[in-house]
Structure 1
Amino acid sequence: MSLPDTLSNLRRIDGGFATIVPDGWMQGRTSYGGFSAALALEAARGLADDLPPLRSAQVSFIGPLAGEVEVRARILRRGRNASWISAEVSSAAGVGLTATFVFMGAVDSALHLHEVPPPANVVPVDQAKPLPEGRGPGFAGHFNRRFGLPRTDRPEPEIGWWVQLKDREGLDPMVELMLCADALPPGVLFMMPNPAPISSMTWLVNLLTPLPETRDGWWLLRSAGNYAEKGCSSQDMAIWNADGTAVAVGMQSIALFG
């Protein structure tokens, strides 16, 4: 079941909605993080029809989410130009995700800076080779994926893939981007000497555009690990559209159990 299908079958509750996490969106014993975050954003968007564009999201992955989940949101503050909304996704096991979204309209500014170039060695999407079918977590089947960076002779803490959501009909562009944005494994994954469980802990996403757009739904995602010690890893993240324009940057903390 796709995200559009899930959203068309939700049940309204006080402060939000309830729905079932489809088996195809699971990652181990919990929901894929991008799916849970997209549900939280959908609940936040539903609080008002006149919200300005989303500009930042702070997400905490607290516990497993599976089966029926309840998604609630509330307005923390509505200013003249910016609004802060918190959201929470919970299941029978308790709270699994919390998020704070910042929606902000455009204001006049004398500063113009947009220095987030794509990797110098990026492989154009129409030349990129697809990832092998059937590999990766269960949710991967909802995406088309292609290698965005050439292979190297030795492992590096960097992963870059082209990602395209297969069923995105009717989705808000920001919800679609949130769903796609967490689709990469951690940048340090292929440097680990042995397979081991991993778990995202926190995730910060800053949007660089009020309306993310790309050709044919393809986004270039990059995760670059910069720290891994004592079971914790930190990584920088970025997303570009098919024309090489940056649309989001972020940071994520990850627990490594091995």
Structure 2
Amino acid sequence: MTPIADILSQADLVENGFRTTVPADWMQGRTAYGGLTTALALHAAQRIEADLPPLRSAQVAFVGPLAGAVTITAQRLRRGRNATYIDTEVRSEAGLGLRATFLFMAPLPSAVTHDAMSRAERHPPEPNVKTYIGPDEFFTGNFEFHDVKVPGAAEWLRWARLRGRDGLDPTVELLAIADGLPPAAFKLFDKQVPLSSLTWHVNLLTTDLSTQDGWWLLQAATDRAVDGFSSQRMRIWNAAGAPVVDAMQSVAIFA
């Protein structure tokens, strides 16, 4: 297990960003885990602009594989009165691997309050409930999980928390966790098949990113997987059942 805080503390500063190394235990096949590289990109965005409001949205493109030494750079696209857009890139020896645009925005006074998002009627695992950790040579070894049974044919519902989360910015921690489920289309196969995330749109529904003992409830579900392309919905709730993240991801299916 390699805490993300250690990856960041070992980084070397470069112009508009930093350079660091993705450890082997954060890999998923030939590329780094997307939640980690997105979290590194967010850290670079946070460093380049002072006094940023809370993160509210991220648009991520997983352009190519990332491994070994990576360089993360950021540039401000625009800072307005209410919103700030920052563009980031993560590159390795193979070239551009990730591009993300982050939107930071403070809460605004509004005459409208509408909330139809469902609350999670689930509770995080008790200390005596059995959880599991992924293999050491795969990124899931940095997480602790507890599965929840679901009725959907192509749906995951799983409690997850980072094993090494001390010293992390809460938003960086959340983005690192947010991609922690396998693609929902995996459940349509009775054997291991290659799948790859292509794009990811993440909306943060609240500026309160607190939870109990690091536990977050992650959901991924797809209703359509055709022509090697799946679009899946993703949500995250905190331990109290409050919705925190609403997201969508496109996934390539090579089978």
Taking structure 1 as the reference length, the TM-score comes to 0.93
Between the aligned partners of 1:193 and 1:28, the Cα distance in structure 2 is 20
Distance in 2 between residues matched to 1:133 and 1:110, nearest whole Å = 46
Q: Which of 194, 197, 200 is the aligned partner of 1:197?
A: 194
Once residues 130 and 8 of structure 1 are traced to their aligned partners in structure 2, the CA distance between those partners, rounded to angstroms, is 32
Q: Equivalents in 1 of 2:128, 2:217: separation in Å?
A: 11
Matched AA of 2:126:
D
Confirm or deny: 8 A CA contact 2:123 2:240 kept in the other structure: no
Shift of 1:79: 0.1
Instruction: Note the residue ranges of structure 1 that are not aligned, 5 or more in a row.
Output: none
Partner of 1:150: 149
Q: Is the 8 A contact 1:57 1:205 kept in 2?
A: yes
Number of matched residues? 254
Corresponding residue SS for 1:98 = strand
Relative to structure 1, is the Cα distance of residues 245 and 218 closer, same or farther in structure 2, using a 3 angstrom cutoff? Answer: same
Distance in 2, matches of 1:221 and 1:136, equals 22
CA distance in 2, matches of 1:248, 1:229: 26
Query: What letter matches 1:245 in structure 2?
Result: A
**Structure 1 residues 68 and 135: CA distance shift in structure 2, 3 A:** closer
Residues 22 and 233 (structure 1 numbering): CA distance in 2 closer, same or farther, change over 3 Å? same
Unaligned runs of 5+ in 2: none
Aligned positions of 1:1-258 closer than 5 A: 1-119=2-120, 122=122, 124-126=124-126, 130=130, 132-134=132-134, 138-147=138-147, 149-150=148-149, 156-258=153-255
Q: Distance in 2 between matches of 1:77 and 1:168?
A: 31
Answer whether contact 2:211 2:238 (CA < 8 A) is retained.
Answer: yes
Q: Give the superposition deviation at 1:127.
A: 8.6
Give TM-score, length-normalised by structure 2.
0.94
Contact 1:77 1:83 in 2 (8 A): yes
CA contact (8 A) 1:2 1:142 kept: yes
Distance 1:200 1:157, change over 3 A: same
* CA deviation profile, 1:54-98 (whole Å, cap 9, x unmatched): 000000001000010000000000001100000000001000000
3-state SS of 1:4 partner: helix
Does structure 1 retain, via aligned residues, the 8 Å contact 2:132–2:144? no
| 1:206 match: secondary structure | strand
Label 1:132 to 1:251 Cα distance change in 2 as closer, same or farther (>3 A): same
Q: Distance in 1 between matches of 2:128 and 2:219?
A: 15
Aligned-pair CA distance for 1:226: 1.9
Please tell me whether the aligned partners of residues 134 and 143 of structure 2 are also in contact (alpha carbons under 8 angstroms).
no
3-state SS of paired residue (2:184) = coil
- C-alpha change, 1:211 and 1:47, in structure 2 (3 Å) is farther
Shift in alpha-carbon separation, 1:137–1:226, aligned structure 2, 3 A? farther
Return the alpha-carbon distance in structure 1 between the equivalents of residues 181 and 130 of structure 2.
Answer: 14
Shift of 1:125: 2.9
Q: 1:123 Cα deviation (Å)?
A: 5.5
Distance 2:136 2:235 in 1: 21
Moved more, 125-134 or 82-91: 125-134
Aligned pair in 2 of structure 1 residues 171, 58: CA closer, same or farther (>3 Å)? same
Deviation at 1:135, TM superposition (A): 5.5
Q: Distance in 2 between matches of 1:135 and 1:118?
A: 32
